[in-house]
Amino acid sequence: MKTLAQTLAEFVVGMPADGVSLLAIERAKMSLASTIASAAVGQDIDSARIVRSLELEEGGTGQASVWFQNARLPLTRAARVNAVASDAAASDDSDLRSIAHIGTIISTTAVALGEHTRSSGLDLLAAMVLGYEVAGRIDESLTPGRMQRGFHGSVSTVFGAVVTAGRLHGLDAGRMAHAIALAATSIGGMAVAADTSCAREYHAGNAAMIGVQAAMAARRGFQAELSILETPRGFLSAMNGQAIEDITLGLGEDWDIITDMAIKLMPGAHPFHATAEAAADAARAGKVKPNEIDRVTISAAVQFTNFKGEPHPRNLVDAAHSLVYFVAASIVDGEFSWDALTVEKMTDPVIGRLQDKVVFDPSPAPLPDRFPHRHGGSVTIVLKDGREFSSTCVAPRGSGPRGVSWDDIDAKYRRLVPLGGLEPGRVEESLSLLHGFDVVDDVSQLTSMLTIAAQVKDTISN
C-alpha cells in the first residue's frame, strides 16, 4: 500500500505543466508579483536585514539572486533571505482556511530554483501551483489542530517549498516522496511566537530553506521514513491532523491556489481584512465623521480564536495583529492603507481615540465549519445621534471567493516595489514580464530585473 508521501509525490511528478489549469497558472503569476512587492517593503525591516547580513557574511557558492540587492547566495540561503523579506512586511498572501503564507514560500523557492536551473516561466508557475496544492491540503488537515497544539503555519508551508523545489529539480516520484518525508521531519515553529514577534518571518525563512534542502538531499539519494505523515506518532498525529483521507481526495480536480489563496491588498493579518473592509464600507455609507461616533461593534468569526490582538499598537508586529486598530484606522481613513503599519499612523490621535470606542459582539454568529479565518466579519457604527450604519464582508478583495484582479495586483506592485530601490522603468518592465511569465524562456530574465546595482552595504552585523 502506498504511503501518503508516495501518493502526493506521484501526483506532483506526474502532472504535466500544460495539464495545470490556466487560471491556476494565472494565480501563480499574481502570487509571484505579490511576493516580490511584499519583499520590496520587507527587505529593509530589521529582521530581514539581520538574516540577510548573516547569510552574506557566511557566503558560499552564488547560485541564486538576493532580491533588491547586488548579491547571490547558495540556493537554500537565497530562498531563505527572500522569504524572510516578503513575510516580514506582512503584505504577501494568506490561505483562507489556515492563514498560512504559502504564496511567499512557493514564490521565493521557485525563483531561486528556477534561476539556478534556468527553468521556463511555465515550468516555474506549474511547480508553484503544485507546491501550493500539497501545502494547502496538508494544512487543511491540520486546521485548527496544529494551532491548538501550538504550531505555526510554517509546519505546512514547508511542503510548498519542497514540492516546488523538487519539481524544478526534476525529482522522480521516489525521490520526491523522500523529499516530502524529509520536510515533514525537519520543520517546526511555534504559533504564539509568530503572533507576538518577528519569529513569524524567521519561520518563513526556515520553511523555504528546509524545503529546498530536503529536495536537494533527496535528489542525491537521501532517504527518510516514507510513512512519516500518517504513521502513529508521526507528523499528522503530532500536529493534531484530521480528515486525513481528504488530503488526497480528488487530486487535480480543482486547485487550492484558485479556491483558497488570498492576496493581501492591505498589510497585516489577513483574518482582519474582511472586517476592515466592512468598517470602511459602513463609514462610507453613512459619511461618518470620527467625532460623531459613540460606539463601534465588531462581530467576526475571528472572535472564536485568540487571534484578535490588543488596541493601541506601537510597532509593526502588534499593529499587524490588532483587529481593533484595523477597524478604527479603516473608519478614519476610509481604508486600511499600505502605510497603516507605520508608527506615524499608529500614533494618530483620531485613530487612537476611536479605538477606545470599539467593542466586540458578545454573541457572534456560530461558525459553519472548523475554519474560523475564512468567514469575514461585520461592523456596526453607532453615532451619538442614534443613527446606525452596518456592513458585512465575508471575503475581502484579492481572495479566491471574490476573484483576484490584475488591476489590484498592478496597483500593489507599483506602490510597493519602488520601495525596494527599483527605478520606475524597471518596475514597469518587470511587471510586464510577470503578466506574461508563462511564455518566458528563462527565469533569470526576472531576477536580473530585481538586482540593485549600487546597493548600500548592510550595516547590521552580529
3-class DSSP state of 401: coil
The predicted pLDDT at position 452 comes to: 83
422-437 average pLDDT score:
98
Out of 65-74, 305-314, 446-455, pick the least confident. Answer: 446-455
Query: For residue 361, what is its C-alpha cell?
Result: 459582539
Find out whether 74 and 63 touch, Cβ atoms under 8 Å: yes
260 C-beta neighbours (distance < 10 Å), count: 25
Return the pLDDT at 18: 96
Interacting residues of 132 by C-beta distance below 8 A, sequence separation 6+: 28, 31, 102, 103, 106, 160, 255, 256, 257, 261
Q: Angle formed by the axes of helices 4-14 and 173-186, to 10°?
A: 130
Q: Specify the length of the chain in residues.
A: 462
Mean pLDDT of all residues in 211-227: 99
CA 251-254-257 angle, 5° bins: 105
pLDDT beyond 80 at 133: yes
**pTM above the 0.85 mark?**
yes
For residues 66 and 63, give the distance between their C-alpha atoms in angstroms, rounded to a whole number.
10
pLDDT above 60 (res 456): no
Per-residue pLDDT tens over the stretch 54-87: 999 999 999 999 999 999 999 999 999 999 999 9
393 DSSP assignment: E
What whole-number distance in Å separates Cα of residue 196 and Cα of residue 334?
27
Quick one: pLDDT at residue 307? 78
**Where do the domains of the chain lie, and which CATH numbers do they carry?**
4-265+402-450 (1.10.4100.10), 270-393 (3.30.1330.120)
pLDDT tens per residue across span 332-377: 999 999 999 999 999 999 999 999 999 999 999 999 999 988 899 9
Among residues of the chain, what percentage have pLDDT more than 90?
95
Q: Sign of the C-alpha dihedral, residues 350, 351, 352, 357?
A: positive
Q: Output the CA–CA distances (angstroms, integers) from residue 187 to 193, 203, 205, 296, 407, in the order listed.
A: 15, 9, 11, 41, 36
Mean pLDDT of 381-396: 98
- Distance CA(375)–CA(300), nearest Å, equals 8
Which residues make Cβ contacts (< 8 Å) with residue 231, sequence separation at least 6?
A: 225, 237
Q: How far is CA 229 from the centre of its chain?
A: 23
pLDDT at residue 453 in the model: 60
pLDDT per residue as tens digits for the range 5-29? 999 999 999 999 999 999 999 999 9
Under a CB-based contact definition with an 8 Å cutoff, are residues 214 and 186 in contact? yes
Report the distance separating Cα 175 and Cα 220, nearest Å: 9
Q: Is the pLDDT of residue 459 over 60?
A: no
The pLDDT of residue 306 is: 77
pLDDT in tens, 253-308: 999 999 999 999 999 999 999 999 999 999 999 999 999 999 999 999 999 887 78
**pLDDT confidence band for 458 (50 / 70 / 90):** very low
User: Which pLDDT band holds residue 318 (cuts at 50, 70, 90)?
Assistant: very high
